[in-house]
Amino acid sequence: MNRLQGKCTLITGGTTGIGLETAKQFLAEGARVAVTGSNPDTLAQAQQELGKEVIVIKSDAGQVGEQKHLAEEIAKVFDKLNAVFLNAGIGIFQPLEAWDEATFDHQIAVNLKGPYFLIQNLLPILANPASIVLNTSINAHIGMPNSSVYGASKAAMISLARTLSGELIERGIRVNAISPGPISTPILGKSGLPAEQVQQIAEAIRNQIPLKRFGAPIEIAKAAVFLASDESSFMLGSEMIIDGGVSTLSWQLS
C-alpha cells in the first residue's frame, strides 16, 4: 500500500523497538523518513538497516536546546513535514522513596519536556494538513506500582494530544495519541536494573496480560501508520489503546 506516499515524516527514538519498526512501516507505505536517536551504535545500525535514503540524526530527546537544532536539521532536508511520531522515551520504575530530583527531572525531560519543545520548534515547517502522533502508555491509566513518574509523564502526553488539538487545528495539524501496553522493546533493559530483576518484572507483567503475551512493535507501528495517514483524517485528540486487554482488568502485581 501507499498510504504515506510522498509524505515527509519524522520519528523520534527511531533506531530501536517501536520507533525502528515504525520507520520500516512508513518506508513501506511510501514515506520519506527521518529518525532520531542518541546512541551512536544504534544510530549506525539503524542507518544500515533502514537504508541510505533515510535521514538519521543524533539528538537527545531530553535536552530542550537540541530540539531547535533538530528542527533546523529537518528543515534542511524537508520543505514541509507531513507527519511526526514522537516516540522517544525512557522508563524508570522504582518506588516513591527511591526517587530523587535529578532522576525525576530526567524522566520528565525525555518523556514530556523535550517532546513539547520539539513540537514548538517544528511548527514553522509542519504542513497543512499534518499529523502529530504521541506515543504514550497504558501506565497513564492503570496505576501500576513503581511507575509513578513514568505514568505521570505519559498521562501528560495524553493531555497534550487533547489540548494541542484544540490549539493547532486551525493550522491543519491533528494531534492523536497511541497508548501501548507491554510491548517487546528494550525499554526495561535500559532501566539500569540487573538482568535477573528485569526478567522477573517481565514475567510478572506477562502474567497480568489477558492475551498472555507481550505486544510486538509492529502492532504499534501499524497504528502509527494509520494515524499519520489521511485515513485517520476525522481523528483529533484521540487515544488508541493497544494493550492486550491490560486496561480491562485491575492491575495487581504479585
From the list 78, 85, 93, 150, the catalytic residue is: 150
Interstrand relation of 32-37 and 8-12 (parallel, antiparallel or unpaired): parallel
Active site (annotated) includes residue 150: yes
Q: Return the C-alpha torsion angle 63, 65, 66, 67, nearest 10.
A: 100
CB 161 within 8 A of CB 117: no
Q: How far is CA 142 from the centre of its chain?
A: 19
User: Strands, E, within the chain: which ranges?
Assistant: 8-12, 32-37, 55-58, 81-86, 126-135, 173-180, 239-242
Distance set, CA 17 to CA 23, 82, 137 (Å): 10, 22, 15
Burial code (b: 16+ CB inside 10 Å, e: under 16) for 67-105 equals beebbebbeeebeebbbbbbbbbbbbbbeeeeeeeeeee
Bond before 115 cis per omega within 30 degrees: no
Q: Name the residue among 233, 222, 219, 117 with its Cα closest to residue 169.
A: 233
* Bridge partner list, 174: 131
Residue found by looking up cell 523520534 in the block:
12
Measured CA to CA, the distance from residue 47 to residue 43 in angstroms comes to 6
Report, as residue numbers or ranges, the catalytic residues: 150
